[in-house]
Structure 1
Amino acid sequence: MATFGPEYFQALPIFGVGVGINPSDLHADYLADSPGRIDYFEITAPSARHLGGPTGYAEIRHRRNARSKGFVAMKIPEVAGEKRVLVHSTNINPVYPDPPTAGDLAELAELVEVTRTPWITEDLGVWLMSERHVYPHFMPFPLTDATLVVTAGNVREVQERLGVAFNAEFPPTTLVAGDMHAFDFFAELTRETGCGMCFDVGHVLSYQIARGAAPTSDFHRLPWPYITEIHVAGGGIDLREDGYHYDDTHGDQPIISVCLDMLDEVVRNAPNLRAITLEVFGAKIPARALARIAEIRARPAVAAWLAGTR
């Protein structure tokens, strides 16, 4: 059984700056060869549970983009034959009381072998309503000791079965439930299991807003040696009747400045950071995504990280 933790992540190469997409978001402009533009693709693996109900989520996404000019239909193994691919799962649900099924893990094991991904990334959250998968919508989980015990046990099983690390992504948060600080939850989870943490900038910002804290408040509580990846995406802060909220819209929306400031802070402080992913789910204008990739690369903190001189 592989041993995970900071040493595991430290031994990995820096993958650079890539894009996070669903298979239906692939566009010929992303796939065109251009050194130093897109270093890798983090592709969401559609769950078999999407097939439940009258129309599966994967089919809805396919229909939405089927007639859009320049978009291509490729499965993860096909992309992995040409490009560096990391895998974003919606199959694992480690905070769910029931452990991942053998079928779910078998699908991911095949992708691990094909892509040679060093980890499987997935948001922590409850993705299921009965046996129907509801991605991309999911329920927040209670931040409690009991949830931590369940999650840690499921993460250990996932890592043992797949032979690669699990990368626990910080989820979007509109309300805070439970008596634990979310950063403490992730710190305990990573230390107990050796799994990594994916720091989604917009998701963390939504948590800070939900609890009435500054964007970088309590960052000293984060498990810095375990943060392996950053997710960043377009979005915006909206004022509603019940207060401010961060909407993680992805797509073609611009990245708000506070998210870029938070990204810089993580880049400077995470010693085992290996990847920065711009998520472009549902994007229709690839040129905008490519321009944002270039802007991210040009940020001094990111440029120093890429050059190994931070």
Structure 2
Amino acid sequence: MTAAAPAPLTQRTTRLGLGVGMDLPWGERIGFAPSADGGDVTPRVRAFLRRHEEHYGYSFFAFQPRDRARLRAADYVIAYDRLYDAMPAGRPRAFHQTLLNMGTPECYDRRPVADFTNELHARYGFSWVVEDLGIWSLQGRPLPYPLPPVMTERGLERATSNAREARELLEPELHVEFPGFTEGGSFVLGAMDAFDYFRRLADDANVWVTLDVGHLLSYQWLRGRTGPAMYEGLESLPLERCRELHLSGCQIVRGKFRDLHHGVLLDEQIDLTRHLLPRCPNLLGVTYEDPVYNEDGELTPKSRPNYDRLSDVVARWMDGEAS
């Protein structure tokens, strides 16, 4: 079964407000705890979900493999059931896949990943599936951090074909996320403008998109666009196709942008979010990704000030006040 093309871009949708996205590795304090009966979220995660159950209008979690065995939904659903049992019922759920590998220059069969995702969707009713347009693995070997796609015309052709294939194979809606360009944490092959590249891919593959604010800033920093220049070129992005903004903890280290996912948002991320909100007419929500919290589920003190600013910006947007 193939997914329908994205809805007409003139269609307005109900705003979902502030959401939360969680990377939940197996065996970490913020993650899943393996067990003989299928696993469960850790007590720290459960405390966070209990403390913040009224704060988020939707959620996603990112897929992390338990091991290198063949993908089987049965190996995951008990832990995932327990995750969702700990969350409020009736709120939209999304899924952050990490295996579609849409930025790769390689050709291979994505049907096993799509079948696995569709089986989870049949159980949990994902509103969408999102994945960064990156090179997540090469020759079957996962990379420590996804690399940007090959920034050439041929690379764009391959990435567009990959995104189109993923959209057609998935039953839930696909959101393709703008990739990260962290200097020193990844490298870039090719010299095409990333904003124009991403717009062309979105149009030609006919997909909705997610804009990670930290990823946008990582590219701007790489290009030397800091301060007021961080707004330059944004009009080249497929803003009318944007359904979600992501914000995760970032930091400037010795003048270089670092996407650390440590929970602490930069002032620039809040400012750029405020700038983008009125320019994305089909936006569904703004996601605070990978919060960091203590054993009681309380956000770390360093993350609170700009998290509170983000919450206020999103609340104003929900009320129609963002400009």
Structure 1-normalised TM-score?
A: 0.80
Which residue of 2 is the match for residue 228 of structure 1? 243
- The alignment partner of 2:278 has SS state of helix
Change (3 A) 1:119 1:100: farther
What is the CA–CA distance in structure 2 between the aligned matches of 1:6 and 1:264, rounded to whole Å?
26
CA offset at residue 168 of structure 1?
A: 1.4
Match of 1:103?
112
The range that moved more, 196-205 or 123-132, is 123-132
The Cα of 1:308 is off from its aligned counterpart by 4.4
Pick closer, same or farther for the CA change 1:220–1:116 going to 2, 3 Å: same
The percent identity for this pair of structures is 25
Shift of 1:93: 0.5
Structure 2 distance, partners of 1:112, 1:15, is 20
CA shift digits 1:43-101 (9 cap, x unpaired): 001247x527xxxxxxxxxxxxxxxxxxxx97334334544421001010012122453
* Residue number in structure 1 paired with 2:80: 76
- Partner of 2:157 in structure 1? 149
Task: After TM superposition, give the deviation of residue 282 of structure 1 in Å.
Answer: 6.0
Give the conservation status (yes or no) of the 8 Å contact 1:93–1:127: yes
Gap regions ≥5 residues in structure 2:
32-44, 70-76
How far, CA to CA, are the matches of 2:298 and 2:51 in structure 1? 15
Match of 1:15 in 2: 16
Contact 1:23 1:76 in 2 (8 A): no
Structure 1: where are the runs of 5+ without partners?
53-72
Distance 1:104 1:13 in 2: 30
Letter in 1 for 2:289: E
Is it true that 1:139 corresponds to 2:150 in the alignment? no
**Which residue number in structure 1 is paired with residue 201 of structure 2?**
189
**2:143 is aligned with 1:124:** no
- 3-state SS of the aligned residue for 1:32? helix
Give distance in 2, aligned partners of 1:275 and 1:9: 17
State which drifts further: 275-284 or 105-114.
Answer: 275-284
Conservation of the 8 A alpha-carbon contact between 1:15 and 1:275: yes
Asked if structure 1 preserves the Cα contact closer than 8 Å seen for 2:4 and 2:168, the reply is no
Taking structure 2 as the reference length, the TM-score comes to 0.77
Please name the residue that 1:276 is paired with.
286
Q: Secondary structure at the match of 2:147?
A: coil
Paired with 1:279 and 1:123, the residues of 2 have a C-alpha distance of 13
What number of residue pairs does the alignment pair up? Answer: 281
Does the aligned pair in 1 maintain the 2:48–2:293 contact within 8 Å?
Answer: no
Which is worse superposed, 152-161 or 199-208? 152-161
Structure 2: distance between partners of 1:236 and 1:37: 25
CA contact (8 A) 2:135 2:147 kept: yes
Aligned equivalents of 1:281 and 1:210: distance in 2? 25
**Matched-pair contact (CA < 8 Å) for 1:47–1:90:** no
Q: Where does structure 1 differ by over 6 angstroms across 4 or more consecutive aligned residues?
A: none
C-alpha distance in 1 between matches for 2:230 and 2:240: 20
1:296 corresponds to: 310
Structure 1 pair 91/176, CA: closer, same or farther in 2 (3 Å)?
A: closer
Distance 2:111 2:163 in 1: 14
